[in-house]
Amino acid sequence: MKTTLIKETGITRKWFLVDAQEKPTGQLAVEISTILRGKNKPTYAPHQDQGDFVVVVNAKKVKFSGAKEEKKIYQHYTGYPGGLKQYPAATVREKHPERILEQAVKGMLPKNKLSRTLIKRLKVYAGEEHPHAAQNPETLELL
């Protein structure tokens, strides 16, 4: 057996459009992270960036299972003493609905330099409109 690796110039990146309306957050994040990493391609190699672009619309209509809407806590640290900020999922959905899906996908990517490149290819929008019509994204039916 011989493993052939693709050069950076030989990688073609496609654009995919995903509608997140009434989809479970975790299951949707798994599918999106797979596309971002390029695991759906036969030429996948874990150390290479072969992923595609993903545009997600209707991020504010993504759903949680169980009582996560009230019980799930999003937190970040400001860097100052006593600067731990905690918000329930309902508050995050009101103020920044795209962050729910962005953080779910980011948590499923590897924790290295490659993931910082991959997460830049994820474009999440709360509503129906997006500015990427010129790229002719291919519509994906996930789940």
Query: Percentage of the chain with pLDDT > 70?
Result: 100
How much is the pTM?
Answer: 0.92
**46 falls within a domain:** yes
Number of domains within the chain: 1
Neighbours of 91 (CB within 10 A): 12
Could you tell me the CATH number of the domain that includes residue 130? 3.90.1180.10
Interval 53-74: pLDDT, tens:
999 999 999 999 999 999 999 9
Expressed as residue numbers, the domain containing 121 is 14-140
Considering the domain boundaries, does residue 97 fall inside one?
yes
CA angle 12–54–37, rounded 5-degree value: 65
- In a domain, residue 2? The reply is no
Residue 4 located in a structural domain: no
Q: Is residue 85 part of a domain?
A: yes
> Is 78 a member of any domain?
yes
CA pair distance 29, 26, nearest whole angstrom: 5
pLDDT tier at 97, thresholds 50, 70, 90: very high
